[in-house]
Amino acid sequence: MAEARMNTLSVSQLSTLRWDLESDVHAYSQRGFGGIGLYRPKLDDYGVERTIELLSEHSMVATSLSWGGGFTGSDGRPFEDAVSDAVNAVIQAARLRAGTLIVLAGGKNNHIKTHLRRTLCQALVRVAAVASEHGIKLALEPFHPGCGDEWSFVHDLQSTLDIIERVDNPSLGLVLDTYHVGMDRAALRWLPDVAQHIHLVQLGDGRHCPHGEMNRCLLGDGCVPLPELIELLHENGYCGSWEVEVIGEDVELISYDHLLDHTKRYLDHTLGQLC
């Protein structure tokens, strides 16, 4: 059974993509981050058993595992292969005692909307049943259409909530990534409705609305109203992990050490305002 991750500060491994898993764990732990968002390619390179031992040595928890999904065939895989891979990811997450398994729906792949929703729900019903058996939370992530068409046809909180209600399994919730939804002021009005379904919050910032490749900046340097979003989530009962994802052209010339130091200072200051 996955442990509760109450207010754990975490960093997604995508933020330090060029480092290996061991370097990530050492650097995050050194700066006082208690969690790590694991990325499956890095996990596969290092090995699940070694990762379990390494996290234990540093008293660090896996706040998420990225990712399972792609059920629409947009990445070239047949439906059954994508479902089988997602089930394997659930079992990996259980072994790692990860807080959540992040799920991406897959791109449109020239399908009509009703077929896409039906395909996604069929997959999620099956994967959520396995997740329930293993005590793992599935977190469907809506992607901004400006940078995520190939990753997900689910773009907003309303659509995500509709899918969660259709699947009707408490193991299924959502990832709220502030980079993807935080620049839409209308999304703020949906937060009270979706707060009970949020399994993970990923904090991301950007200097402009997503267009093309994801291009995040250091937290606080962009136009996402992070303090307002964090306070609103807190007020609506969110008490899970805060996982940071910083990746893109605006930060690629910044050293990972500086990125992590800045992130920790920003979170300590911003979250400290809630106390």
- Domain containing residue 62: CATH number: 3.20.20.150
Does residue 35 sit within a domain? yes
Does residue 205 sit within a domain? yes
Summarised one tens digit per residue, pLDDT across range 63-117 is 999 999 999 888 889 999 999 999 999 999 999 999 999 999 988 877 888 999 9
Structural domain count, the chain: 1
Cα separation of 144 and 138, whole Å?
19
Does residue 244 sit within a domain? yes
Give DSSP secondary structure letters for 81-135: HHHHHHHHHHHHHHHHT-SEEEEE-B--TT--HHHHHHHHHHHHHHHHHHHHHHT
Instruction: Residue 128: name the closest of 73, 176, 89, 79 by CA.
Output: 89
Does residue 4 sit within a domain? no
Q: Which two tokens stand for residue 169?
A: 């399994």
Average pLDDT, stretch 145-157?
A: 83
pLDDT of residue 275: 57
Of the chain, the percentage scoring pLDDT greater than 70 comes to 97
Domain with 94, as residue range(s), is 9-272
Does residue 3 sit within a domain? no
Cα separation of 102 and 112, whole Å?
24
